[in-house]
């Protein structure tokens, strides 16, 4: 394996080779702490799948909040090409309070770049208030805004005073970080500073009130999770941010527990909620049947109520009885196959368990933009050296809220529970991987082709940008970002949808009809002729 990686890297210039080598690890459980380099700058021109800070802020974290209008201050492309492509679904009781289907942008032109776009932005806010009457407004900056120095914070402040509405600005210019991860952090800080805790609720609305953090309702995932949680007896105050709303988010402080699905995108808020309101957070994973069951049991253990523990087991039993017979035929098709599982952040890890349940072994996995703790576990956080790029987005200084801070469970019980369940913790991807499997950070086009050529996986999990590489090599892909047209994949019923889609990828006769273009005819055609001056 090491020889194989060396061979792949040898094609690079020496400096690039040295860099990329640190982003590739072969899993070896005999070595206790395997380190990987992550969250550093991509080599220019290497053809990565990463996105930008604007994508992480507006596209990922803010965008799904449905009763707000999200203004993109910038040239139209940034808004238009990120418009609804992530499939973060939303429904509202009041149809006038769901603005997700709109694409709202200041459509900056050359003259705005030269003379400044602040006035145009202020006019746009007035129009948005008049036409849509949203519950709140966000403004997200794209690259040129920072370059020309438009002060969007000042525009937002003035508009807030003028309209008496929660209007906030996010300085998430695309270049602010090395990937969309910086945008998550900016959005987390903004939501915490400007929205969470704005509501006037002092008490939770029910006995078991929880928030779900880092769940974006892609293809309806959070609806499937909530269906099961409601059946057990939980009240979900707000999902951050899939199908979420300003109205619910402002009272997020009342929850007794925060669940964290995608820690990469939202661990900052989880941590700040704990510091400010005393609410613990539990790492969950609702992707995969076993992981879902484990998460539900851990939640019940946290509350420690006998009736809740019993009800949890009843619901698990009922759900399993429904799905197990449906799963069998798909397992037969999938069993014995291998997969690459390369997604943006946490999904590169989360989906491995579901693959395993179908009998599929993950032989290579990685993340586009995750940090070392997502690979190595949260314990590594104190050992991560911060560099100029990561210092760019400061951590907010959060202190206990004088009025609302309540320790949700006694310190001793928390310590006891921490030995049993992942409270304020996650263990990272590497420890869960099989010996000899490969972990790659920020995989690029060239390495994708090379690893496929050597490891010949049966299926490749990817996004819209990279899925055509394997497909053209005759390998089925499973889009694990927006799920193409499918989903939900979370929870019990979601696992069936996933199994069906993956089995379909293997069983479809399509692959027999594909002849890669280079097998048919030469890529370049033409003749060389003498050129006379």
| Contact footprint for ligand CFM (CB under 6 A) | 56, 60, 86, 180, 214, 216, 218, 262, 264-265, 343-347, 481
Of 440, 501, 495, 446, nearest to 476 (Cα)? 501
Catalytic (active site) residue 52: yes
- Say which entry of ligand HCA, ligand CFM, none residue 85 contacts (CB below 5 to 8 A, set by partner kind): ligand HCA
Q: How far is the CB of 216 from ligand CFM (least distance, A)?
A: 4
Residues 344-373 as x/- pattern, contact with ligand HCA by CB under 6 A: x-----------------------------
Catalytic (active site) residue 55: yes
Count of CB atoms situated within 10 Å of the CB of 164:
9
- Say which entry of ligand CFM, ligand HCA, none residue 183 contacts (CB below 5 to 8 A, set by partner kind): none
Nearer to ligand CFM, 117 or 487 (CB): 487
One of 20, 50, 73, 86 is an active-site residue; which one?
Answer: 86
Q: How far is the CB of 366 from ligand HCA (least distance, A)?
A: 14
Stretch that binds ligand HCA, among 90-98, 290-298, 384-392, 459-467 (CB under 6 A): 459-467
Catalytic (active site) residue 143: no
Of 319, 292, 338, nearest to 437 (Cα)? 338
Nearer to ligand HCA, 49 or 140 (CB): 49
Do 194 and 170 meet the contact criterion of CB atoms below 8 Å apart?
A: no
User: What Rg value do the Cα atoms of the chain yield, rounded?
Assistant: 24
- Say which entry of ligand HCA, ligand CFM, none residue 265 contacts (CB below 5 to 8 A, set by partner kind): ligand CFM
Q: How far is the CB of 282 from ligand HCA (least distance, A)?
A: 24
User: How far is Cα 497 from Cα 511, in angstroms, rounded to an integer?
Assistant: 21
Q: How far is CA 517 from its chain centroid?
A: 34
Count of CB atoms situated within 10 Å of the CB of 285:
24
Q: How far is the CB of 184 from ligand CFM (least distance, A)?
A: 7
One of 55, 141, 156, 495 is an active-site residue; which one?
Answer: 55
Of 478, 479, 474, 477, nearest to 453 (Cα)? 474
Stretch that binds ligand HCA, among 121-129, 257-265, 401-409, 460-468 (CB under 6 A): 460-468
According to CB under 6 A, which residues from 169 to 228 bind ligand HCA? 180
Measured in degrees and rounded to the nearest 5, phi and psi for residue 364 equal: -145, 135
Do 480 and 465 meet the contact criterion of CB atoms below 8 Å apart?
A: no
Catalytic (active site) residue 263: no
Does residue 85 bind ligand HCA (CB under 6 A)? yes
Nearer to ligand CFM, 216 or 277 (CB): 216
Stretch that binds ligand HCA, among 51-59, 232-240, 325-333, 507-515 (CB under 6 A): 51-59
One of 20, 160, 184, 350 is an active-site residue; which one?
Answer: 184
Count of CB atoms situated within 10 Å of the CB of 75:
20
Count of CB atoms situated within 10 Å of the CB of 138:
28
User: How far is Cα 46 from Cα 11, in angstroms, rounded to an integer?
Assistant: 13
Nearer to ligand CFM, 246 or 489 (CB): 489
- Say which entry of ligand CFM, ligand HCA, none residue 292 contacts (CB below 5 to 8 A, set by partner kind): none
CA dihedral sign of residues 27, 29, 35, 38: positive
User: How far is Cα 250 from Cα 68, in angstroms, rounded to an integer?
Assistant: 13
Count of CB atoms situated within 10 Å of the CB of 149:
8
Of 88, 159, 172, nearest to 130 (Cα)? 159
Sheet arrangement for strand 361-367: 24-26, 438-440, 361-367, 338-343, 459-462, 477-479
- Say which entry of ligand CFM, ligand HCA, none residue 120 contacts (CB below 5 to 8 A, set by partner kind): none
User: How far is Cα 361 from Cα 340, in angstroms, rounded to an integer?
Assistant: 9
One of 38, 52, 53, 341 is an active-site residue; which one?
Answer: 52
- Say which entry of ligand HCA, ligand CFM, none residue 465 contacts (CB below 5 to 8 A, set by partner kind): ligand HCA
Nearer to ligand CFM, 264 or 372 (CB): 264
**Cis before residue 6, ω within 30 degrees of 0?**
no
Q: How far is the CB of 469 from ligand HCA (least distance, A)?
A: 13
Nearer to ligand HCA, 208 or 342 (CB): 342
Do 87 and 482 meet the contact criterion of CB atoms below 8 Å apart?
A: yes
Do 173 and 145 meet the contact criterion of CB atoms below 8 Å apart?
A: yes
User: How far is Cα 51 from Cα 40, in angstroms, rounded to an integer?
Assistant: 13
Kindly tell me which residue out of 320, 482, 504, 506 binds ligand HCA, with binding defined by CB under 6 A. 482
Q: How far is the CB of 447 from ligand CFM (least distance, A)?
A: 18
Residues of this chain that interact with ligand HCA (CB under 6 A) are: 49, 51, 55, 59, 85-86, 180, 344, 463-465, 481-482
Residues annotated as part of the active site? 52, 55, 86, 184
């Amino acid at each position: 394996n090491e020889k194989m990686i060396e061979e792949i890297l040898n094609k690079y210039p020496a400096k690039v080779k040295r860099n990329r080598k640190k982003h590739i690890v072969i899993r070896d459980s005999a070595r206790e702490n395997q380190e990987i380099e992550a969250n550093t700058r991509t080599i220019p021109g290497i053809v990565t799948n990463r996105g930008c800070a604007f994508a992480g802020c507006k596209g990922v974290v803010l965008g799904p909040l449905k009763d707000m209008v999200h203004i993109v201050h910038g040239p139209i492309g940034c808004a238009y090409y990120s418009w609804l492509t992530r499939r973060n679904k939303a429904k509202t009781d009041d149809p006038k309070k769901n603005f997700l289907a709109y694409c709202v942008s200041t459509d900056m032109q050359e003259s705005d770049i030269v003379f400044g776009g602040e006035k145009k932005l202020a006019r746009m806010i007035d129009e948005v208030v008049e036409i849509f009457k949203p519950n709140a407004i966000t403004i997200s900056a794209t690259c040129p805004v920072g370059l020309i120095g438009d002060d969007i914070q000042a525009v937002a402040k003035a508009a807030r005073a003028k309209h008496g509405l929660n209007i906030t600005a996010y300085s998430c210019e695309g270049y602010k970080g090395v990937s969309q991860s910086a945008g998550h952090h900016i959005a987390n800080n903004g939501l915490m500073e400007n929205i969470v805790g704005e509501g006037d609720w002092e008490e939770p609305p029910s006995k078991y009130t929880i928030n779900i953090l880092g769940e974006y309702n892609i293809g309806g995932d959070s609806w499937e999770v909530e269906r099961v949680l409601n059946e057990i007896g939980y009240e979900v105050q707000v999902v951050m941010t899939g199908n979420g709303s300003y109205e619910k988010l402002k009272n997020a402080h009342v929850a007794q527990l925060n669940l964290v699905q995608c820690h990469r995108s939202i661990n900052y808020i989880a941590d700040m909620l704990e510091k400010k309101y005393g609410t613990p957070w539990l790492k969950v994973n609702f992707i995969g049947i076993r992981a879902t069951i484990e998460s539900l049991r851990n939640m019940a253990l946290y509350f420690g109520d006998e009736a809740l523990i019993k009800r949890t087991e009843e619901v698990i039993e009922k759900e399993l009885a429904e799905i197990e017979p449906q799963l069998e035929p798909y397992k037969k098709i999938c069993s014995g196959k291998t997969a690459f599982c390369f997604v943006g952040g946490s999904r590169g890890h989360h989906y491995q368990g579901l693959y395993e349940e179908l009998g599929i072994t993950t032989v290579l996995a990685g993340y586009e933009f995750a940090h070392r703790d997502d690979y190595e576990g949260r314990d590594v956080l104190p050992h991560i050296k911060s560099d100029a790029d990561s210092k760019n987005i400061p951590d907010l200084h959060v202190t206990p809220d004088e009025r609302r801070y309540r320790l949700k469970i006694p310190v001793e019980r928390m310590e006891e529970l921490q030995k049993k369940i992942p409270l304020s913790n996650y263990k990272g991807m590497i420890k869960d991987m099989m010996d000899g499997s490969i972990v790659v950070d920020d995989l690029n086009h060239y390495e994708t082709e090379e690893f496929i050529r050597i490891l010949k996986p049966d299926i490749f999990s990817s996004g819209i940008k990279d899925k055509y590489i394997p497909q053209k090599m005759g390998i089925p892909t499973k889009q694990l970002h927006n799920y193409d047209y499918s989903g939900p994949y979370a929870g019990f019923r979601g696992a069936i949808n996933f199994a069906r889609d993956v089995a379909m990828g293997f069983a479809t006769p399509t692959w027999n009809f594909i002849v890669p273009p280079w097998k048919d005819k030469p890529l370049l055609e033409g003749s060389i002729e003498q050129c006379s001056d």
